[in-house]
Amino acid sequence: MPHHESPRDSFLERLHAVRERLETLVSATYARDAMTDPDPNGTETWTAGNVFAHLGEFPAYWLREASMVASSYAGTPVPFGRTKKDPHRREAIVRDASRSPQEILASIAPDLDALEAFIADLPPSGWDASGLHETLGTMPMSRILDEFLVGHLEEHASQLELLLSRS
């Protein structure tokens, strides 16, 4: 199986940068009625509380999924993931919206540390792995990390920055 240079360093730099952004954003004061723009091709709009609630829920989930893809891959894309309709995802966004952002960020620090270790330690076979997502199809590991983990964290940091500008 051909191995291409992994994007490890880029992902690690991006992860460090987004953690710094989130550590700043966690102390900000957001207007209660400020809402995000709808997600692309969607209708969901969120308050800062909803965004932080989602941040508190998804890193551990997607890291488990990425780890499973990396360890199970044997040449055929590994089924993984969930969609926006997943009830656990939706429940957490509502249930945890009133938790303090500081508490949420503290609760996911171990998940973000584990994500950093996962990226740093991912062997070539892990970078070569691909998953099969129900709606997005076959995804190489770098796209899984971008779409569901590092890029996903960046997307929500940007939402919080936008909400702050609207507050």
**CATH number, domain at 25?**
1.20.120.450
How many whole angstroms separate alpha carbon 152 and alpha carbon 158? 10
How many whole angstroms separate alpha carbon 94 and alpha carbon 74? 38
Question: Does 2 reside within a domain?
Answer: no
How many whole angstroms separate alpha carbon 167 and alpha carbon 153? 21
Q: pTM, whole model, 2 decimals?
A: 0.92
Q: Can you give 120-164 as a three-state secondary structure string?
A: HHCCHHHHHCEEEECCCEEEEHHHHHHHHHHHHHHHHHHHHHHHH
What domain range includes position 141?
Answer: 8-165
What pLDDT was estimated at residue 70? 97
Question: Does 75 reside within a domain?
Answer: yes
Tens-level pLDDT at each residue, the chain (167 residues)? 455 567 999 999 999 999 999 999 999 999 888 999 988 778 889 999 999 999 999 999 999 999 999 999 999 999 999 988 888 888 888 899 999 999 999 999 999 999 999 999 999 999 999 999 999 999 999 999 999 999 999 999 999 999 999 87
Question: Does 3 reside within a domain?
Answer: no
Question: Does 144 reside within a domain?
Answer: yes
How many whole angstroms separate alpha carbon 81 and alpha carbon 58? 11
HSE value, Cβ hemisphere, 13 Å, CA-based, for 33: 0
Question: Does 82 reside within a domain?
Answer: yes
Question: Does 1 reside within a domain?
Answer: no
Tally of domains within the chain: 1
